[in-house]
Structure 1
Amino acid sequence: MALRQAGGESSGIALARLSEERKAWRKDHPFGFVAKPAANADGTMNLMIWDCKIPGRRGTIWEGGLYTLRMYFKEDYPSSPPKCKFEPPLFHPNVYPSGTVCLSLLDEEKDWRASVTIKQILLGIQELLDAPNIRDPAQAEAYTCFMQNRREYDEKVRQQATRFKNPNL
């Protein structure tokens, strides 16, 4: 797939870093994960948007699912973090109804550092799935269910894992 740069819209620094991230990912990535630049309508590769898949961790209520996430990088990446969005949105206390992930690692005001890699982001999101941050809820329904009826929450997550079944298992 050829790389097409959108008429100077993307910063050279961001594209260079994302190109390096792609090379590093292709050499070494966690088992079951997928991360690759999205395809433009003309078949070229868009390094500023990545299509990712995160497997549910073994031994958790998320096991068996393969969750689709899209990463949107800004022109000033890696100075600013990517926006990470589950498509379709997940039932989870730290996922906004829009699908956007609420994680301190992805927040410039909190834990974002320019040295954070795509691999670290995806592993951090996988960890967040099973260990929600109840101090920073983003989805009222999932948060309330998690806090007040853990059995129902666990069942909804298991149903979600079945709905997004990992074809590689």
Structure 2
Amino acid sequence: MAGVARSRLAEERKAWRKDKPFGFHARPELNEETGETNMMRWKCYIPGKEDTIWQGGFYPLTMEFTEDYPAKPPKCKLPAGFFHPNIYPSGTVCLSILNEDEGWRPSITVKQILLGIQELLDNPNPLSPAQSDAFVMFQQRLEEYKKRVKQEAAKYPPPV
């Protein structure tokens, strides 16, 4: 099975290079010491959508794949403490397409995952809260929530 995961990720990388959405970055991590590419761990950046409260932010995300990929989804994490109703305090993204018991299908691509997370930022799922403070604020104090999101976006400026 190990060969399947790495082969699929090599294909994903090729497809990404040919057709990546504007402003997004995704590439396998490079081991500084050996110079080797780690296909099982990707460093990504997701831009906040234009004309949303997330605009201007450039959100770092890691995707960790197992040897069971694509039968099982990757684990996607934003920085610990990231403020969002569907992001656990650890930074783990709570999204149906990343849950093998819910919406995951082996045909889902890295590109679809990243676009799905970008969409989730501005459209939280109230049926799947992962962080109580952000969830309660989103549900009960929307203006305060929007202000807090803008502060979050300011923490993650685009790289120069």
Tell me if structure 2 keeps the 8 A contact 1:36–1:50: yes
Cα deviation digits, residues 80-113 of structure 1 (max 9, x gap): 0000000244200000000000000000111100
- Paired positions, count: 159
State the percentage of identical aligned residues.
57
Deviation of 1:42 (Å): 1.5
Q: Which runs of 5+ in 1 are unaligned?
A: 1-9
Who is 1:11 aligned against? Answer: 2
Q: Unaligned stretches of 5+ in structure 2?
A: none
> Within 5 A, what are the aligned runs for 1:138-149?
138-149=130-141
**TM-score under structure 2 normalisation?**
0.96
SS in structure 1 of the partner of residue 72 of structure 2: coil
Work out which of the residue numbers 57, 70, 79 in structure 2 matches 1:78. Answer: 70
Q: TM-score, normalised by structure 1?
A: 0.91
Work out the CA distance in 1 between the residues paired with 2:107 and 2:7: 14
Structure 1 distance, partners of 2:37, 2:79, is 20
- Equivalent position SS for 1:49: strand
Which structure 1 residue ranges, 4+ long, deviate > 3 Å from structure 2? Answer: none
In 2, distance between residues paired with 1:153 and 1:90? 13
- Partners of 1:91 and 1:157 lie apart in 2 by 7
Match of 1:99 in 2: 91
1:146-157 correspondence to structure 2 within 5 Å? 146-157=138-149
* Root mean square deviation of aligned Cα: 1.1
How does 1:108-127 map onto structure 2 within 5 Å?
Answer: 108-127=100-119
Q: Give 1:165 deviation, angstroms.
A: 1.3
**Whole-Å Cα distance in 2 between the matches of residues 102 and 93 of structure 1?**
9
Shift in Å, 1:163: 1.3
Residue in structure 2 matched with residue 6 of structure 1 by the alignment: none
Check if 1:23 corresponds to 2:14.
yes
Q: Which residue of 1 aligns with 2:124?
A: 132
- Kept in 2, the 8 Å contact 1:68–1:88? The answer is no
CA contact (8 A) 2:5 2:68 kept: yes
The answer to whether structure 1 residue 54 and structure 2 residue 46 are counterparts is yes
